[in-house]
Structure formats: structure tokens, C-alpha cells
Amino acid sequence: MRIIRDYQFVDDKDRGATAAIGNFDGVHRGHLSVIELARSAAPDAPLGVLTFEPHPREYFAPQSPPFRLMGSEARASRLEKLGVDALFELPFNGNLASLTPHAFAQDVLHEGLGLSHVVVGADFCFGKGRLGTAADLQRAGAELGFGVTVAPLMQQDAQTVSSTAIRTALSDGQPGTAAAMLGHWHRIEGPVIGGEQRGRELGYPTANMSIDRLHPPAFGVYAVLIDVLEGPHKGSYHGAASLGVRPMFGENKANLETFIFDFKGDLYGTQLSVALVEYLRGEETFDGLEALITQMDSDCVRARKILGAL
């Protein structure tokens, strides 16, 4: 998959693409339907996805709490697995934010990227002040010469499948509900970072990962699936993970600590992808280390049983 970040300098082989447009945070089932519509709209054209980095919400409200379900690298990896040929990941900045809806359609979609067809969700808004609607885009496409398909919003259990609904499910400790809307397990991806090595001292060495800039799921312990994405230990594993601020030790910066079952090896700096499968319990403070270890033993027994049944 090729990644294009400047709409004013696009290679001829990437022009004429059909593209799904949106933020694609989480790449959930609603996003998949938009991408599949783009694929079927022009099967012989390159399949593209047009998105923005940073997320416009981050640009306009940089001090707001983290809300993203995935970072840009994880999003790109997911889109590549879906067979996307070109990811148009445009820098969202003052110049782009100031374009009127018609200027965005003309300067970016038509003249810049040279798209032949675009697909958007029914709730799509674009241009300065988010004043442009999907209907406005259809009118602009008819004028400028590119096709526009508007995808209906996907419903599940009388609820619209959306990144917002998925965040709510994760905050409520319901990763299974989130996975049903995503079409895949919610994953936290990134490098293994250094920790306090308390887990090693307790007999539970963990791979620690930052959740900075990501929406924090409910704090607590999860049964997890782990993919080691590189290096000599590359492969898939089962485990249990603690997500939170470690109140028993007085720490307050949230991260993810994953214990990989039946694993020995050094993973520092290695890229991991950890899927949250089932929420086992919330964060707790214990009377002492023995009580903590007993609970961790119980957590791992439960996690092995849950993951073994998948």
C-alpha cells in the first residue's frame, strides 16, 4: 500500500482512484462497508482511502482527553490488510481546515488527487466549519466530473455502528460489544517500553506499553490475545493484561502491562498488538503482595479458560 500525504503532488499511477473518505478511527464495520462500496464502484481502479492526520478533532481541540481508538500506524496497517492500494493521509492543518466545501471538492478531490469516484457515509461533513454535507458533495461531483456514492449508516442492535459507540462499550468494560461493532478485537499496538519490573519480582513478568493519545478502556484486568509483530519471537500468544494506573503502587500514569503465558524472551522495543477479549475485573488494591499474587493466579486461570475456548 502506498501512502500519499501531499494532494498537490500525486503520481499518475495514483490518480483516477476510487476512494472511501473519513477518519476511519478503529476501522469498524461501518468503515468496512464504505470501503467495500468504493471497491465495487470501480473494480478496475486503484482502491484508495482518504483520511487525515491528525484527526480533525485533535487539531481543533488539542487539550481534549484522548479519544482515538488507534494511532495512524495501526490504522494504516489495518487498511493495508483490507487490500487498500493507496492511503491518502492528508495533514490536517490550517490551510486544509480553511477550504470551503466546494474548494475542498475541487482543489483536493478533483484537481489534486484526481479521484474518479468517492464514497462517504450518510453523516459525512466536510469543508470549513463542517458546512458541507454528503448531498453537497454529490452536487460538486456532478459538476466536476467524479462520482459520489453515499453509504447508509450501519445499525446493530438498534444502535448506529460508530467510533463513539465503540468508545462507550470499551469504557463500560464490554470489549465483546466493541468487537461486534468493529468486526475485530479492539487492539492496542505499540512498542514494549521499560517498566519498574515489579511483575518479574512477583513471578509475572510483563510487557509494558503506553496508551498515550488513545481512548482508555475500562481500567482493570483482561484476557488478551497478543501478536508479536517482529523479531525472533514473532507470532501469536495468549495472556492476561492489566490496564490502568496501578493504585497499589501509588502510580498514576496509565499503561498496559501484559503477561504472556508460557513465554520467555526479551521484548523491549518490539512492536506488539494486544487484543482485549474479555474484561475480568476492575483495578483493585490488595492487603499485601501475597493477596495480589493469589488474585493474579486466579486471573490467569480464568483467562486461559476463556482464550482456550475461542
Catalytic residue numbers, as ranges: 257
Question: Can you tell me whether residue 49 is helix, strand or coil?
Answer: strand
Closest alpha carbon to 251 in 289, 195, 175, 173: 195
How far apart are the C-alpha atoms of 172 and 190, rounded to whole Å? 23
Closest alpha carbon to 47 in 132, 115, 149: 115
How far apart are the C-alpha atoms of 93 and 109, rounded to whole Å? 17
How far apart are the C-alpha atoms of 96 and 51, rounded to whole Å? 12
Identify any residues that bridge with 237 across adjacent strands, giving them in sequence order.
226
Question: Can you tell me whether residue 38 is helix, strand or coil?
Answer: helix
107 in Cβ contact with 99 (< 8 Å): yes
